[in-house]
Structure 1
Amino acid sequence: MARKHGANKVVISVYATRLPTGVFPSELSAHAFSVLREAYPSVEPIEDGLSGALMNAGPIIHPPLIMMNAGPLEHFDAWDIHNEGTQPSIRSVTTALDNERIAVREKLGYKPSHFPLANHYASEGEEWMYGRGAHGKLTDSGDWRENIDLHSHRYMLEDTRMGLSFIVSVGRWAGQPTPVAEGLLSIASAITGQDLFAQGRTLEMLGLDSLSQAQMRSLLTYGIHA
Structure 2
Amino acid sequence: MSKKYSITILGAGNGGQAMAGHFGKLGYDITLFNRNTDQFTDIITTKKITLSGFIQGDGKVKKVTNNYQDAIDDADIIMVTTVASAHKEVAKNIAPYLKENQIILLNPGRTLGALEFRNEVENYSNKRVYIAEAQSLIYACRAEGKGKVRIIGVKNKVPLAAYPSTDTDYVLNIINQIYNCFIKAKSVLETSLENIGAIFHPSVVMFNAASIERGDMFYFYNDMTPTIADFLMKLDKERLLIGKSFGLDLISVSDWVSFSYSNIQGDTLCDKMKNNPAYFLITAPDKLETRLVTEDLPTGILPFMELAKLAKVEVPLLTAVFNIMESLLKVDFKTNGRTLKNLGIDHLSKEQFINSL
How would you bin the TM-score normalised by the shorter chain? 0.7 to 0.9
Counterpart of 2:227? 89
| TM-score, with length taken from structure 1 | 0.85
After TM superposition, the structure 1 stretch with the greater mean CA deviation from structure 2, 37-46 or 62-71, is 37-46
Which among 90, 113, 131 is matched to residue 262 of structure 2?
131
- Residue 145 (structure 1) aligned with residue 276 (structure 2): no
Q: For 1:79 and 1:199, locate their aligned partners in 2 and report how far apart those are by CA, in whole Å.
A: 32
SS in 1 for 2:302: helix
Matched position secondary structure for 2:334: helix
C-alpha distance 103-40 of structure 1, shift in aligned 2 (>3 A): farther
Moved over 3 A (4+): none
Give the distance between the partners of 2:341 and 2:308, measured in 1 at CA: 12
The 5-angstrom pairing of residues 1-226 of structure 1 reads 1-84=140-223, 86-111=224-249, 114-120=250-256, 127-133=258-264, 135=273, 136-140=276-280, 142=281, 144-151=282-289, 153-220=290-357
- Separation (CA, whole Å) in 2 of partners of 1:173 and 1:40: 36
State the distance in 1 between where 2:245 and 2:150 align.
Answer: 39
**SS at the partner of 1:22?**
strand
Q: 1:38 to 1:46 in 2, by over 3 A?
A: same
CA contact (8 A) 1:14 1:138 kept: yes
- In the alignment, structure 2 segments of 5+ residues that lack a partner are 1-139, 265-271
Task: Quote the Cα distance in structure 2 between the aligned partners of 1:31 and 1:162.
Answer: 26
Question: Cα deviation per residue 1:186-221 (whole Å; 9 max; x = unaligned)?
Answer: 01111111232343212222121220123212321x
SS in 1 for 2:153: coil
1:194 and 1:92 map into 2 onto residues whose CA distance is 28
Q: Which is bigger in relative contact order (C-alpha 8 A, separation at least 6)?
A: 1
- How many angstroms does 1:159 deviate by? 1.1
Q: Which moved more, 1:96-105 or 1:190-199?
A: 190-199
How far, CA to CA, are the matches of 2:263 and 2:252 in structure 1?
14
CA positional deviation for 1:139: 4.2
CA contact (8 A) 1:185 1:196 kept: no
Distance 1:181 1:96 in 2: 10
Q: Which structure has the highest strand share of the two?
A: 2
Contact 1:23–1:49 (Cα < 8 Å) also in 2: yes
> Is the 2:215–2:286 Cα contact (8 Å) retained in structure 1?
no
Deviations 1:70-121 (A, max 9, x none): 111111253322122x11111111101111111111100113xx22111256
Aligned residues: 209
